[in-house]
Structure 1
Amino acid sequence: MSLLQLNEIAAFYGPSQALFDVTLEVGEGEVVALMGRNGMGKSTTVKVICRMLAHAQGEVHFAGQNIGALPSHKAARLGIGLVPEGRRCFANLTVYENLIAAARKGAWDFGAVCELFPRLEERREQSSASLSGGEQQMLAIGRALMTNPRLLILDEATEGLAPVIRQEIWAAIAKLKAETGMAIIAIDKSLRELGQVADRAVILEKGRTVWSGAFEALGPEETDRYLGV
């Protein structure tokens, strides 16, 4: 069953068109890798999904509802959780305060997040500004989980992190997939690590969906054509 559907989306930043024809679908409990070179429309697509950017053409459906007219906070309340690129933790708040800032009732509470990322329990009373980059990324993921989303969007969640921290983040994503049935959209540059968790892939090029299918069907021809340098 489809949880999210984007059909023929076009979107603009002022007079400049960023998306021309983006179509993607995410099923309940499915992990979809949203892929493409830098500047091809991945983060803009995320903004459209989260209603941070209005689209000019096409339709966005979530949980059977057309959400095109909704503001971002109402889309979040429907169950769309975002881990934004760059983490964007509240620097002057503690770890605990960051986590409860947007919390909603559900299975994901402070204890559940700390079970996934034990370091957050250890850093509970520290300001987020004092955390390492990897710890801030764990905090950003935990904060999104505390909204108890049906769809979790991870925008470059491991970018710039040390290999050992990357492994910890990917292990957490794999655990979310295996144990929660949560739908996930993951944007990342690592084909190897995406391949360990993704069911399907959608590739964007110049604001258009140019390839979609099972992740294991993504071969050298497609990766060289659409993802190579």
Structure 2
Amino acid sequence: MSLLQLSDVTAFYGPAQALFGVSLDLEEGEVLALMGRNGMGKTTTIKVIFRLLLHQSGTVMFDGRDLGPLPSHRAARAGLGLVPEGRRCFANLTVRENLIAAARPGAWDLAGVQRFFPRLGERAEQNAASLSGGEQQMLAIGRALMTNPRVLVLDEATEGLAPVVRQEIWAAIARLKSETGLSLIVVDKSLRELAGVADRAVILEKGCSVWSGAFDGLTPEIRDRYLGV
């Protein structure tokens, strides 16, 4: 049984339908790339997973449990961690305060996150607002890890960062895959970097799942049809 499974999910923003039948599954220890052009439903799907947007029909199952009735905070406590688009660190809190605010018991603690991202240890007493964009992204990832999730979702984790910083974040994602056994869902536009970490991919178009399979099965024809500009 899949660790996380969405089956034929529909969702609305008010009267406007945003998802028309999204299905995906994530296995234990797997990295899944959630892909599609802008506005095709990726972030909406993430909102549904985290119960930030309620789905109208279909099912959202996590570790055999129906997430449908749960409020967002209980879904997070069930073992879901989110690195949101735009980072959204608490600007007026220190790095340390940002991290411990999210802490839940488990293998990831303050010392462990600081070992994984040494720069967060160096900046521990600085306000998050004073960090560079790359450091804020490390903080957002570290904060999510402090919740000790079983599934970590990264929504556009490298967007807006300088190339050298993007490579640091991709290296961190690769380490999470190889060293931790976490299940990951990664939303990003960089096919080259995704190819280095993703086991499988799901492509969304106009709020529907239109393709899924092994990442290396993304042929040029599929890329041009669903991902090309």
Please tell me the TM-score bracket, short chain as reference.
over 0.9
Between the aligned partners of 1:211 and 1:80, the Cα distance in structure 2 is 24
Between the aligned partners of 1:221 and 1:16, the Cα distance in structure 2 is 31
Q: What's the counterpart of residue 160 of structure 1? A: 160
Between the aligned partners of 1:180 and 1:135, the Cα distance in structure 2 is 21
Give runs of aligned pairs for residues 1-229 of structure 1, distance below 5 A: 1-229=1-229
Where structure 1 has 5 or more consecutive residues not aligned to the other structure, the ranges are: none
Between the aligned partners of 1:198 and 1:15, the Cα distance in structure 2 is 35
Number of residue equivalences: 229
- Render the CA deviation track for 1:5-44: whole Å, top value 9, x for unaligned: 0000000000000000100000000000000000000000
CA positional deviation for 1:152: 0.1
Between the aligned partners of 2:28 and 2:119, the Cα distance in structure 1 is 30
- Render the CA deviation track for 1:196-222: whole Å, top value 9, x for unaligned: 000000000000000000000011001
- Render the CA deviation track for 1:61-97: whole Å, top value 9, x for unaligned: 0011011110000000010000000000001100000
Amino acid at match of 2:141: I
Amino acid at match of 2:228: G
Between the aligned partners of 1:69 and 1:38, the Cα distance in structure 2 is 29
Report SS of the residue matched to 2:3. strand
The TM-score normalised by the length of structure 2 is 0.99
Between the aligned partners of 2:116 and 2:203, the Cα distance in structure 1 is 30
Between the aligned partners of 1:71 and 1:5, the Cα distance in structure 2 is 18
The TM-score normalised by the length of structure 1 is 0.99
Between the aligned partners of 1:103 and 1:111, the Cα distance in structure 2 is 12
- Render the CA deviation track for 1:81-140: whole Å, top value 9, x for unaligned: 000000000011000000010100111111111111111001000000000111000000
Between the aligned partners of 1:87 and 1:69, the Cα distance in structure 2 is 27
TM superposition outliers: structure 1 runs of 4+ over 6 Å = none
